[in-house]
Structure 1
Amino acid sequence: MNSIALRVGIIAGVLIMPGAPARGEVAESSPTHFVTRATVTVKAVPKAAWLALTDPAGWWDDEHTWSGSAANLSLVPQGGGCFCERIPEKDGAADVGLAGSAQHMTVVMAEPMKVLRMRGALGPLQSEPVDGVLSITLQPANGGGTKLVWEYAVGGHLRYPVATISNAVDAVMSQQIDRLADKLGREAPLENSPADKENPPGARKGDKDTQPGGL
């Protein structure tokens, strides 16, 4: 998004930016796809975590929007719902401007307090012939908190070098996860565990057809 905010011109900066947030990982990649994955545990109970997750205006970084303000973001947590952004009009001295909008992703599954899955190409990927699926699962954690697992799988023809764009996407997505975790009260740092790799978001035991399933 200026966008999940990976403009080509800032990709290198994202990768070397001092003081950058904790990173997730590029779990896998090939010339035509990549998958980023991260896990974080927060103090908030699943219901509070779900309500915050589905209100990105309350935690998304202004720097990673087209409009320059996360307040313009909205998310409808229903099948077919839009993760969208309003681009306000800019009035000039001679005329009244016109408002615009951007559709970042479409919700394909919303199971409150359990899983949110959206489909769409974020940031500079929007101009590429690729598609992406963002799967986020919420699981009760010890002590009453919530474990959130994020997985973003992108596939298609990429004009960017995969190693560069995948790491940049991973860095910016991890930044957003960190911001949500800070809002909800971080219980454990951003991490990746063997268990997360073996049981990707949305997967159910004995049901291989649901993998990698999630959000």
Structure 2
Amino acid sequence: MKLAAPVFAVLTLLAAGGARAEVVDAQPNGFETRRAVVIAKPAAEVWAALVQPSKWWNSSHTWSGSAANLSLGAASGACFCEKMPNGGSVLHMTTVNAQPGKQLTLFGGLGPLQMSGASGHLVWALAEADGRTTLTWTYDVGGYRKGGLDKIAPAVDQVLAEQQDRLKAYVETGKAG
């Protein structure tokens, strides 16, 4: 993905509207977005898929243009990283809390947030009941972004909702969409 492409993708999403998760709060200096889905599989299976973003993340939301280049280390200090052509790499987020089958917390900035003074905590919480798992993500972002972070919150929200839908589809059917 070319450097300008993530910004274009975000602007496209803003213009497109469509279904969104919930932007809980949005201010010029930060925002919180949250969404929950129920996945018809046990938490252990959801966790196993969650830590393999190369299987379900949308390639159009990567810097390299291929989700196959993504990896996610599920241990504190590990990273949600991406291999780039010619030996390059991108550190999207750092794992700060990994509790298999229960919670994965990452810290950093996704997409265009990397080009600003903003970062946040992305929490994926899993709760299993009767062989089904409720997967809730919350992304709390704060810092500086020219024009205000509140302006980008809906697009970030929509991109993350798409990834969560792809993860659910992958876990339940073996195909991300």
Match of 1:32 among 19, 29, 40: 29
Runs of 4+ residues deviating >6 angstroms: none
Q: Deviations over 1:4-44 (max 9, x none)?
A: x97222323112337x5x42111012221100100000011
- 1:10 maps to a residue whose letter is A
Q: How many angstroms apart in 2 are the aligned matches of 1:15 and 1:75?
A: 28
Kindly indicate whether the alpha-carbon contact (under 8 Å) linking 1:6 and 1:169 is maintained by their aligned counterparts in 2.
Answer: no
For 2:23 and 2:157, locate their aligned partners in 1 and report how far apart those are by CA, in whole Å.
7
Structure 1 counterpart of 2:111, from 123, 127, 130: 123
CA distance in 1, matches of 2:34, 2:56: 19
| Counterparts of 2:53 and 2:11, CA distance in 1 | 26
TM-score (norm 1): 0.75
Where is the helix percentage greater, Structure 1 or Structure 2?
2
Return the offset for 1:2.
Answer: 6.7
Q: Alignment partner for residue 84 of structure 2, among 84, 87, 93? A: 87
Whether 2:43 is the aligned partner of 1:46: answer: yes
Identity across aligned pairs (percent)? 43
TM-score normalised over the length of structure 2:
0.90
Q: Rate the CA distance shift 1:2–1:41 in 2: closer, same or farther, 3 A.
A: farther
Correspondent of 1:172 among 113, 134, 159? 159
Asked whether the equivalents of residues 2 and 123 of structure 1 are also in contact (C-alpha less than 8 Å), the reply is no
Q: Any unmatched runs of 5+ in structure 2?
A: none
1:103 alignment partner in structure 2: 91
Q: Deviations 1:29-68 (Å, cap 9, x if unpaired)?
A: 2221100100000011100000000000000000000111
* Contact 1:2–1:64 under 8 Å retained in 2: no
Relative to total residues, which structure has the larger strand share, 1 or 2? 2
**Alignment coverage as a number of residue pairs:** 173
Q: Where does residue 198 of structure 1 map in the other structure?
A: none
Q: How does 1:155-170 map to 2 (within 5 A)?
A: 155-170=142-157
Q: How far apart, in 1, do the equivalents of 2:100 and 2:70 lie?
A: 20
Structure 1 residue 183, shift from structure 2 partner: 1.1
Rg larger for: 1
Which residue in the other structure is 2:13 paired with? 14
Aligned Cα root-mean-square deviation (Å):
2.0
| 2:33–2:153 CA contact under 8 A, matched in 1 | yes
Give the Cα–Cα distance (whole angstroms) in 1 for the partners of residues 105 and 2 of structure 2: 22
The runs of 5 or more residues in structure 1 that have no matched partner are 90-98, 187-215
